[in-house]
Amino acid sequence: MFPRVSLRRMALWLAGAVLLSGCATVERPGQSLFPGVSYVQRTEAGETPQRIHILSVDLEAQGIAFGVTPGDPSQGMEHVARRTSAMLAESRAQVAINANYFLPFKGGSKGGGDYYPHEGQPVNVSGAALSGGQVVSPVETDIDDRVEAMVCFAGPRVEIVDGQLCPKGFSDGVAAGPRLLTGGRIEQLPAPLAPRTALGLSADRKRAWLVVVDGRQPDAVGASLPELAALFADLGASDALNLDGGGSSTLAVEGADGKPVLLNTPVHTGIPGRERPVANHIVLFARK
């Protein structure tokens, strides 16, 4: 069993990665967070500095299982908004990232409270979503042109498919897009630099990668979609799907004390470190 990482140890390790970055890409040796789950941060200085967070998941490791936020129609829509760290704590998962695009949405003024949704406010996801075998959101092809594929889960099994229908036997899934890799082919999709969240798969479906790219910060400008696709190809993925990004991009893990720890630095209302409430999440369980 891999050792758990203390919050202090993780903070010191991440600080070292940044201080050593210089003008070249720096990647610290992978750190085992949970059984079957390792983490590495890549940093790069220069004219377009980047800070990239990569979780590698061994899908054959004992105890690995994925899930998606259950629906909550109590406020009249498909979900009530939650921060990714709040969903991690509520689900008792070990990892959580943001998932679908969602509406209604308002970015708000810098540092202000005039954004939507706040935590607990109603929101709908754009495109299909499944949780625990239940349809939370139906197939929707006319809401967001970016939504063109689905990442589907059945315990440790993961698949990325075109459209918004998961294969038979998959109980959880989220629709998003665009696709970044298809059968090893990089999809050439123009897009500006921005914070990003994405998921990739190896050709043999034995490994998955969860990637969150920091952005909108002096030392982290974000990534374009072609850059994100190239990153997944470099990792060894054959298929990859872009999820909601921007101020939504968040990677939370369970700390040694059982409380959520943010590995990335989200930017909400222009404030680094401020976490945005989002509609739904992909969670990863990694306990034996």
pLDDT tens per residue across span 135-191? 999 999 999 999 999 999 999 999 999 999 999 999 999 999 999 999 999 988 888
Q: Would you state the pLDDT for residue 22?
A: 36
Q: What is the pLDDT of residues 62-101, one digit of tens each?
A: 999 999 999 999 999 999 999 999 999 999 999 999 999 9
Nearest of 64, 59, 100 to residue 82 by alpha carbon: 100
Q: What is the pLDDT of residues 18-63, one digit of tens each?
A: 333 334 667 665 799 999 999 999 999 989 999 999 999 999 999 9
Q: Would you state the pLDDT for residue 189?
A: 84
Q: Would you state the pLDDT for residue 23?
A: 41
Domain-wise residue ranges, the chain: 7-285
Dihedral angle of Cα 83, 123, 214, 196, to the nearest 10 degrees: 140
Q: Would you state the pLDDT for residue 15?
A: 37
Distances (CA, A) of 80 to 70, 116, 235, 261, 262: 10, 11, 35, 22, 21
Q: What is the pLDDT of residues 249-283, one digit of tens each?
A: 999 999 999 999 999 999 999 999 999 999 999 99
User: Percent of the chain beyond pLDDT 90?
Assistant: 86
Q: Given phi > 0 = left and psi -120 to 50 = alpha, else beta, which region is 5?
A: beta
Nearest of 31, 36, 25 to residue 13 by alpha carbon: 31
Q: What is the pLDDT of residues 194-238, one digit of tens each?
A: 999 999 999 999 999 999 999 999 999 999 999 999 999 999 999
